[in-house]
Structure 1
Amino acid sequence: MKGVMFQGTSSDAGKSLIATAFCTIFRDLGYKVAPFKSQNMSNNSYVTKDGKEIGRAQGIQAEAAGVDATVYMNPILLKPRNDRRAEVVLFGKSFQSFEGREYREKFYEKGIETIETALTTLENEYDVIVVEGAGSPVEINLNDRELVNMKVAEMADVPVFLIADIERGGVFASIVGTLQLLKEEERKRVKGIIINKFRGDLSLFEDGITWIEEKTGVKVVGVIPYLHNHRIDSEDSLSIGSRFSQSDQKEIDIAVIRLPYISNYTDVEPFLFEEDVSIRFVDHANEFGNPDAVIIPGTRSTIADFKQLQNVGFDLKIKDYVKNGGTIVGICGGYQMMCSYLYDQAGSDTGQVGYQLAGLDIIPAMTTFMGTKKTIQNSGVLHANSGFPPHEVDGYEIHLGVTDVRYLENVNPLITLQNSFDGVSMDNGRIIGTYFHHFFENDAFRGEWLNHIRKKKNLPEKEFVYLRKEKAAQYSRLAEHVKKHIDLDYVVSVVETWGIECEG
């Protein structure tokens, strides 16, 4: 197999972003490229065209590569249900839930078989596979049955480049320690080191490069400066703090409730492209302030997260905000929380069959949690009484809940679908609930919604921002940034000659 794998000395070292850059780089060099991550642990999902669920990072990397995302690009997705248990999504469909030890003991052989199938499929369809690891490849307590780092490099038989995050400190120890803890045959796969997130004068690090190469015998192929405001969707909640700076206040202030089991928070990332909008994630009621709009995002555990809001008094803060004329949007789990009642008929949300509690009671509706998850790409038209022009909108749905709405005089559907409706719009669009993830990716709707807020604040309306064009520019910007600071000829040579060298 022709490909390359990026592993990191730690989580959040920049593996996803650099893999995304190389998806674009290899595409621009004329290769047909596929991203691959064998096992992803994230509640940020991406739904493929055939209605299957994969990790969001691989969906974004497929966009950067200019290909459609498929389940073979992320065959195993782990979605945490709590601190000990996760749902296993296998080839895009819910398979089973396991606790950590149970997963290691019972799923390993199935995982190996799954990864082999995915790699074989990708090898037959693509020229180059850009493989991403997870965490660190030297988690000694886990490495005997790992499914995502050096075991995958061995299965795919690809060279490895090790990424180290200099921003967090200890970069020399992290590189040397990682390489020393690898087995000898694993170290032989590491063909280069990439120093990521560098700030300051690169010339001051030249001695550091020399030291690393002399100490490890591995070439430093690049030192990549920190890339500010790249606006490319991130993989997990570790990046929320850096992506959405609370000190960066602009004319429109949008507060996003940071739920303990938040999922698909990338639904709000389109606002990063709006020059007069700032997004801040709030954990506590005392951080709430007086925002221009509030968004309650998706969650992996609606009832557990809602009970946590109640425990800290956040539910009362939100209800008062809406009662006093505040603008609010609930997406998926956030939409469910806004209902009058939540009923776990199947026990699929709480594990307790028949569990019921009152919700925020902002929307006159009841959400019932079923046993089968709905995952689908969907599209429709904004309803005539939604408060917005009838723009076409699309998105994707991932949910166990079914919401039964009592449409009243001031309670209208949000979206007209082919044979039904989605969501709720109240008070001319001031209050919105929807199951559509990516709803704010619809440029016309997002522009209209923001202009409602601007009008309310006596600010001038703005023209719509078109995300597809902006995202394409960001992928190119990222690729050029990495190419500028890396020995690309060396990387390509390693990829092209790897199999030949091994045979020789």
Structure 2
Amino acid sequence: MTKQCPLAPLMLVGTGSDVGKSVLAAGFCRIFLQDGYHPAPFKAQNMALNSYVTPEGLELGRAQAVQAEAAGIPCHTDMNPLLLKPSSDKTSQVVLHGRPIGNKDAYQYFRTVGRGHLRQEVCAAYDRLAARYNPIVLEGAGSISELNLRDSDLVNMPMAQHAGARTILVADIDRGGVFASVYGSVMLQQPEHRALLSGVIINKFRGDIRLFEEGRRLIEELCGLPVLGVVPYLTDVHIEEEDSVALSKRALQAQQGKVNIAVVLLRYISNYTDFARLEQDERVHLFYTNNVEELQEADIIIVPGSKSTLADLYELRRNGVAQAIIRAHRAGKTILGICGGYQILGLEVSDPEGVEGDIARLPGLGLLPIRTEMAGEKVTTQAQFTLLGDETPCTGYEIHMGRTTREGETEAQPLVRMADGREEGCATSQHCMGTYLHGILDNAVFIERLLAPFAERIATGAQPLDYEAFKQEQYDRLAAHLRQHVDLERIYQILGR
């Protein structure tokens, strides 16, 4: 039963990027749900290539979809009204309320775009959300002390001010310099914003926490804020990550007794959370690489989604990975393309309108008899489907900007049949296939089909994964971890219980 006592909104801001705000926000969403409240996440502006589709067919950052899942509610674009999807080192697609409104370079966006209008839009989204849920768990972006961007900031302290949020500063002690980063972040705030800060959480601590007692006291004396928790580094709790920075650091060596799956590490890789379930399947060893020799160690090679398909296709041809994938196919390895990877496996990708950039046309890898033409209109929809030859219901979602057609008369078959009767995807055999469907790998029936040709390699006793139960367990374990290491009673007092 939902408690009647309303709480003030809680906001987590950071001393920098990747300090753990997103995961902590998911943990607090789960704690509030467990304690009988009706929480919802909110991030005014997100920059990420990992996105998700709402039940209404609109796009938002994947991190807020994960946080909504932790809160036990459907995701909605009001939880992330403004999404920036980088398409190059200097430009991003701007998505407002789930729909693209154009591409902007960083200078245009932060200096000349109608910031007042965008501020009104994100504040209105927050207000709608706050009218439906309590408490709201807000997340900031990057560092709160980017002085050069202060006037255009939509997501950090100005949003805390609009929401009247009790704001906690999160610092990553693992990267070093925690005293300077906390003190500097606090002291560089304007007085009215500094007054909004209610405390500090030290995140990603390694070692004996008792050794940081003096550090806790010093931070409290220097900053005049309580340290509300020292949270140890998470090693055995698995929450989907927002950033792809650490993908290339995951184990590369092929393993015996498992099916070895390589995900091609594209420069503009998107929606790599497609592989979160596979990473936890004990029958599978999954790794990310763009090394030609490492690709040859894989039984299955997956070409993932891309925000800039033509740019990534050009790079695959330049660095030899395209040829390595073709050789692996000829050697009997399985090749799977998802979204942009599906386009790359075809005969050709063209962009006559310059939707992605300056590359007008490139030959694909030629493994699937399809051609793709980029289009300005983005397809975003949740999907229900079945695999051809199997009536087990499956779910996924589409986010893409290309139109793909099959070439001539071939023996290739569609991969799935959508709930509306439409056929989707393409498969030339059990060893070569592609689809626009993100989340297809979250469906056990497709995993079994993918792994079937390599069943003899799987060690005796290895079992399939119940991924939904696994995710719910991770949210509960995250909540338990936070309950142990933050002063939750004091946080509740700060929120006004």
Q: TM-score, with normalisation over the residues of structure 1?
A: 0.93
Range 463-472 or range 244-253, more displaced:
244-253
Distance across 1 between alignment mates of 2:454 and 2:147: 52
- 1:262 is the counterpart of 2:298: no
Cα distance in 2 between the residues matched to 1:62 and 1:324: 43
Report the Cα distance in structure 2 between the residues aligned to 1:288 and 1:278, rounded to whole angstroms. 13
User: What one-letter code is carried by the residue in structure 2 that aligns with 1:234?
Assistant: E
Which residue does the alignment assign to 2:242? Answer: 235
Indicate the SS of the match to 1:160. strand
1:447 deviates by 3.1
Contact 1:231 1:269 in 2 (8 A): no
Deviation at 1:172, TM superposition (A): 1.3
Partner SS for 1:142: helix
Contact in 1 for aligned 2:382/2:396 (Cα 8 Å): yes
**Could you tell me which residue of structure 2 aligns to residue 358 of structure 1?**
363
Alpha-carbon distance in 2 for matches of 1:293, 1:408: 27
Query: How far apart are the structure 1 equivalents of 2:189 and 2:455?
Result: 56
Task: Give the conservation status (yes or no) of the 8 Å contact 2:259–2:458.
Answer: no
**1:501 maps to which residue?**
none
Which residue number in structure 1 is paired with residue 305 of structure 2? 298
Residue 107 (structure 1) aligned with residue 114 (structure 2): yes
> Which residue is equivalent to 2:467?
467
Bigger shift: 158-167 or 279-288? 279-288
Gaps of 5+ in 2: 1-6
In structure 2, the partner of 1:426 is 428
Contact 1:444 1:464 in 2 (8 A): no
Matched residue, 2:15: 9
**Cα distance in 2 for residues equivalent to 1:178 and 1:216:** 10
Offset at 1:408? 5.8
Tell me how far apart the structure 1 counterparts of residues 246 and 482 of structure 2 sit (CA, whole Å): 19
AA in 2 matched with 1:449: L
Q: Which residue pairs with 1:379 in the alignment?
A: 384
Flag the 1:223–1:249 CA change in 2: closer, same or farther, 3 A: farther
1:94 aligns with 2:100: yes
CA distance in 1, matches of 2:26, 2:276: 17
- Tell me how far apart the structure 2 counterparts of residues 325 and 35 of structure 1 sit (CA, whole Å): 45
Structure 2 CA distance, aligned partners of 1:38 and 1:193? 21
Provide, for residues 387-438 of structure 1, a one-character-per-residue CA deviation record: whole Å limited to 9, x for no partner.
Answer: xx443221100111111124866411110122321111232x2112010001
Closer/same/farther in 2, CA of residues 45 and 106 from structure 1, 3 Å limit: same
Question: Aligned equivalents of 1:11 and 1:245: distance in 2?
Answer: 24
Q: Which residue of 1 aligns with 2:4?
A: none
Residues 1:3 and 1:185: Cα distance change in structure 2 (over 3 Å): same
2:450 counterpart of 1:443: no
Report the alpha carbon displacement of residue 458 of structure 1 after superposing the two structures with TM. Answer: 6.5
Counterparts in 2 of 1:351 and 1:374: CA distance versus 1, 3 Å: farther
2:157 aligned residue: 150
Secondary structure of the corresponding residue to residue 360 of structure 1? coil
Q: Give 1:395's aligned residue.
A: 396
Does the residue aligned with 1:496 lie in a helix, a strand or coil? coil
Q: CA deviation at 1:199?
A: 1.1
Cα offset for 1:346? 3.0
Partner deviation per Cα, 1:72-121 (whole Å, 9 max, x = no partner): 00000001111111111000001121111111221311211111210110
Q: Deviations over 1:350-399 (max 9, x none)?
A: 356xx222100000111111121110011111012xxxx44322110011
Distance 1:485 1:270 in 2: 28
| One-letter amino acid of the counterpart of residue 412, structure 1 | Q
Match among 234, 246, 249 for residue 252 of structure 2:
246
Tell me: CA distance 1:246–1:482, structure 2 relative to 1, closer, same or farther (3 Å). farther
Instruction: Give, as a single letter, the amino acid of the residue that structure 2 aligns with 1:183.
Output: Q
Distance in 2 separating the partners of 1:235 and 1:41? 10
* Aligned length in residues: 488
Q: Percent identity?
A: 39
> What is the rounded CA distance, in whole Å, between the counterparts of 2:392 and 2:311 in structure 1?
35
For 1:30, the equivalent position in structure 2 comes to 36
Shift of 1:264: 0.4
SS in structure 2 at match of 1:367? strand
The residue that corresponds to 2:487 in the other structure is 487
- SS of residue in 2 equivalent to 1:412: coil
Structure 2 distance, partners of 1:188, 1:57, is 28
For 1:411, what is the secondary structure of its paired residue? coil
Task: Find the aligned partners of 1:149 and 1:213 in 2 and give their Cα distance.
Answer: 22
In structure 2, C-alpha distance between the alignment counterparts of 1:207 and 1:462, rounded to whole Å: 47
Where 1:368 maps in the other structure, the secondary structure is strand
Consecutive unaligned residues in structure 1, runs of 5 or more:
498-504
Contact 2:345-2:368 at 8 Å conserved across structures = yes
Within-5 A mapping of 1:254-333: 254-333=261-340
Deviation at 1:184?
1.9
RMSD: 1.8
Give the match for residue 478 of structure 2.
478
TM-score by length of 2: 0.94
What is the SS of the residue equivalent to 1:399? strand
Tell me how far 1:178 sits from its aligned partner: 1.1
- When structure 1 is superposed on structure 2, of 39-48 and 287-296 the one drifting more is 287-296
Q: Which residue of 2 aligns with 1:404?
A: 405
Instruction: Give 1:217's aligned amino acid.
Output: G
Matched, 1:53 2:54: no
1:432 partner amino acid: M
Instruction: Give 2:3's aligned residue.
Output: none
**Deviation at 1:229?**
3.6
Which sits farther off after the overlay, 92-101 or 389-398? 389-398
2:171/2:178 contact within 8 Å kept: yes
Which piece of structure 1 moves more, 299-308 or 285-294?
285-294
Q: Which residue does the alignment assign to 2:209?
A: 202
In structure 2, do the counterparts of structure 1 residues 96 and 155 end up closer, same or farther at CA, with 3 Å as the change threshold? same
- Residue aligned with 1:377, SS: strand
Tell me, in whole angstroms, the C-alpha distance in 2 between the residues paired with 1:487 and 1:374. Answer: 44
Does the CA contact (< 8 Å) of 1:447 and 1:463 recur in 2? no
> Residue deviations 1:115-142, cap 9 Å, x none?
1210110111111100000110001111
* Change in CA separation of 1:171 and 1:245 when aligned onto 2, cut-off 3 Å: farther
Q: Give the 3 Å change call, closer, same or farther, for CA 256–475 of structure 1 in structure 2.
A: same
Q: Give the whole-Å Cα distance in 2 for the aligned partners of 1:485 and 1:28.
A: 17
How far apart, CA to CA, are the structure 1 residues paired with 2:236 and 2:276?
A: 11
Distance 1:14 1:59 in 2: 16
Q: How far is 1:231 from its partner? A: 2.0
Please say if 1:340 is aligned against 2:361.
no
Contact residue 12 and residue 239 of structure 1 kept, 8 A: no
